[in-house]
Amino acid sequence: MASPLFQKDSCRTFVGTLPGLLVCAVLPSFAAESGFPAPRPAYGIYFGDPLPWLSEAEQQQFQLGFQVFEKNWGPSDGAGDHFNAESCVSCHRDPLPGGSGSRDDSFILLQPAGTRPRKLSRLFRDETGSVRQLPPPGGVFRRRTPALFGLGLIEVIPAGQIAARASLQPEGMRGRPVWIDGRLGRFGAKANVPDLEEFTEDALHTELGIPTEVIATRLRVDGSLQNLLQYLRGLAPPSPRPSWDPDSRGARLFQMLECSVCHVPEYRIRLETASTKNEEVVIRPYTDLLVHRMGAARSDLSDAPDIRADEFRTAPLWGLASVGPPYLHDGAARSLTDAILMHGGEAQHSADQFKALSAEEKEALLEFLRSL
Amino acid sequence: MTMNHTLHARMLTTLLVGIAAVAPCLGGQSAPSKSKSSNFAIITNWGDDTCSLVSVESVEKTREAEQISVIKVGAKPYDVKVESGGRFAYVTCSGADFISVIDLQANLEDQKGRIRIGQGPRDLVLSPDEKRIVVANSGEDTISVVDRASGQQLYTVPVGNIPYGVGLARDGKLAVITLWGSNQVALVELGETAGRVLKHIPVGNLPYTVGIAASGDLALVTCFGSHRVDVIDLQSMSLLSPSVEVGKSPWGLAISDDGASALVANFYAGSASFLQIAPTEKNALSPHRSPVSEVARVDLASELKEQSSPAAGPVQAARHRAKNSSISSDGLVALMTDLSRNKVMVLDMKSRKLRGEISVGHAPYGIAFIPKR
């Protein structure tokens, strides 16, 4: 379903081909000289802020959605007896509501089960209302609670632009788009979720334990679901730190080590909203949204029959140092250095090049990553 | 560090050596007398794993000042408290699960003195006799009680869902803990070797910080999601009404030493709420007449716009994210951290005007005046 915040059908982009990339690269200076307005950066003031161009009505709905996000769900709300958390915010909270999770119990647990893994519940509410922990079985895999900032803008990057990126990537580092019933997968560790509505409904059901029929008959009817979606779509991306400098030594190393092949720095998208009126905005998520093979050591589960166990979506790096540690899809990395060194498969040579850097160069690159 | 900063750091060190020379020995003392705030304060920079030392007087002449020195600590430093002698600061490192101990005389962290506690430590508080430290471990639903002299954790107490804020009352025997995940406050009895939860009190949504009024009878709790401060009568262990409506998303709270006022940092509003705490007779609190009220609310962007010097050029409006605050012992000055601009704002508590700003590290979270004797 198209986002009410953005008219996806009317979105166009400059960046679809290599010439387009080049045009885009020179556009800012050309624009500055020619008097055309530069693209608007799409940040909030701080984590958890709404997109800066939301109208007053949209901001009000954003606030209503936040109330749904922070709400504790229980039996009186229709929540079932198996769940992982009582509210969205109890996991999505670092560094602020809407963020990632760092607690052990904010990780999603998955178990192999045929062609698709099964998500496990770690909590059980008995008939007296008491909640107890369910001990996890052996052989489970962990997925980290992702930060939600900026996902609304990731949702509206034109699918063609993302898919075309793969053909620009060199052999050996060539990712691939994940298609689900003709829709491009953008969300989740395996890029197997096409839009925020499906992402949200799945989370309400599997994480909060709300039955699908309750979502359909109660949350859709009373507007809670739509308000929650407006909140998620309205969350502004993290703004880079003042120290962020795309011309810094660290930024150049990021390119030299070919990190930017997969962690694509920038997209420019045209938004048609009540307040943006076909305006171009720039976002810097540092991801190509494609899946890449990350090596046997990083394998976990296949989330769908056509997604391999060692394939993972390139994680966005915006806000990196504030939404982690831990890092990587399973939180296995306790530091940025660990996260880089754990890159295998298509990224192995980048990790090897990082190892070969001097201490000074490593620190320059890490400082750049911390500034995103 | 620039040459000026290095010089300032040496001057500060010398000054603090002088202060420390007359400071009482650590531990083993009876309850210390109330110390006066010095001109100096310490701030935790969550975003770059450091603490900043600042001079409050530095804004008297220039309105815009810089930190004096920077001290490296553990990952994601969150809260800070300073013992009354002004020599040691204790910093919860929320990304590293320990307390960093900073020797302010030496201007560096004593890495061997790191105190291991629970996961995701957030707020901490020193007991009135300063023999103990109590910390909220947001990552494992407990609080840690630490012996300050030995630097060892004595025990933990399971308290409830995602503890964040800590306050102590009854001579350190009652802990008031905000439970962010369940919208409650836990009242915890602290013994010598163990503690137990006495009661859970429902409060507003996403309670972050708790402050204890000087009388020890009242706890004030910022409810981030409900945009209000809740007030708890610690004698009857019950919520008082009405709650105090403040600005959007109140996060940090500081109460003056005389217990008569409080300052609330309203995060998404970019404003500060000044609260008055009316004196009450012991055991005479009425459940329906809270003695706490908001007497003023200051928009920080307007303050800056009014007071910017012409040479500074136009000031960008409404870009503040006020996180935390601390009030000097004499009640005249307050400091408030601004996460979006990486500054500490110096506020005059009487006029409620901004005196100036000090640039610090990235994402200044915790703040505390450094006492002097």
User: Residue B321: which of A46, A87, A89 has the nearest Cβ?
Assistant: A46
**Distances from the Cα of B151 to the Cαs of A67, B99, B122, B154, in angstroms?**
41, 9, 18, 9
> Are A103 and B339 a contacting pair at CB < 8 A?
no
Which residues of chain B are at the A interface, by a Cβ-Cβ cutoff of 8 Å? Answer: 46-48, 75, 95, 119-120, 138-140, 161-162, 180-183, 205-206, 225, 268, 319, 321, 339-340, 342, 362-363
Phi, psi values for residue B295, rounded to 5°? -105, -20
User: Residue B362: which of A66, A241, A325 has the nearest Cβ?
Assistant: A241
- Please, is B82 exposed, middle or buried when counting C-beta atoms within 10 Å of its C-beta (0-12, 13-18, 19+)? buried
Cβ atoms of B91 and B365 within 8 Å: the answer is no
User: Residue A45: which of B120, B139, B321 has the nearest Cβ?
Assistant: B321
Over chain B, what is the mean pLDDT? 88
Q: Minimal Cα distance from B226: which residue of A?
A: A67
Q: Which of A53-57, B19-23, B112-116 has the lowest mean pLDDT?
A: B19-23
For residue B305, the model assigns a pLDDT of 63
Which residues of A fall within a CB distance of 8 Å from B342? 242
Nearest to A9 by CA among A156, A196, A183: A156
For residue B372, the model assigns a pLDDT of 85
**DSSP at A154:** H
Higher-pLDDT residue of B366, B4: B366
Cis preceding-peptide flag for A265 (omega within 30 of 0): no
- Rounded to the nearest angstrom, the minimum Cα separation between B288 and chain A is 27
* Euclidean distance between CA atoms B293 and A333, whole angstroms: 47
Q: What is the pTM of this model?
A: 0.89
Per-residue pLDDT of chain A (372 residues; tens, 9 = 90+): 444 445 443 344 333 333 433 334 334 344 444 455 667 778 889 999 999 999 999 999 999 999 999 999 999 999 999 999 999 999 999 999 999 998 888 899 998 887 788 889 999 999 998 999 898 888 899 999 999 999 999 999 999 999 999 999 999 999 999 999 999 999 999 999 999 999 999 999 999 999 999 999 999 999 999 999 999 999 999 999 999 999 999 999 999 999 999 999 999 998 887 666 788 899 999 999 999 999 999 998 888 888 999 999 999 999 999 999 999 999 999 999 999 999 999 999 999 999 999 999 999 999 999 999
For residue A116, the model assigns a pLDDT of 83
- Pick among A45, A84, A363 to test the B interface (most B CBs inside 10 A): A45
Q: Minimal Cα distance from A322: which residue of B?
A: B47
> Are A325 and B75 a contacting pair at CB < 8 A?
yes
* Euclidean distance between CA atoms A319 and A236, whole angstroms: 11
Tokens of A73: 């769900």
Q: Is A337 helix (H, G, I), strand (E, B) or coil?
A: helix
Amino acid at A26: V
User: Residue B120: which of A46, A89, A103 has the nearest Cβ?
Assistant: A103
> Are A322 and B47 a contacting pair at CB < 8 A?
yes
Q: Is A300 helix (H, G, I), strand (E, B) or coil?
A: coil
Cβ atoms of A314 and A366 within 8 Å: the answer is no
Q: Minimal Cα distance from A72: which residue of B?
A: B182
**Distances from the Cα of A90 to the Cαs of A93, A95, A334, B46, in angstroms?**
6, 12, 21, 20
Cβ atoms of A156 and A234 within 8 Å: the answer is no
Query: pLDDT at residue B156 above 60?
Result: yes
Nearest to B177 by CA among B235, B130, B121: B121
* Euclidean distance between CA atoms A110 and A303, whole angstroms: 10
User: Residue A45: which of B119, B181, B319 has the nearest Cβ?
Assistant: B319
Which residues of A fall within a CB distance of 8 Å from B48? 370
Q: Give the count of Cβ contacts less than 8 A between chain A and B.
A: 49
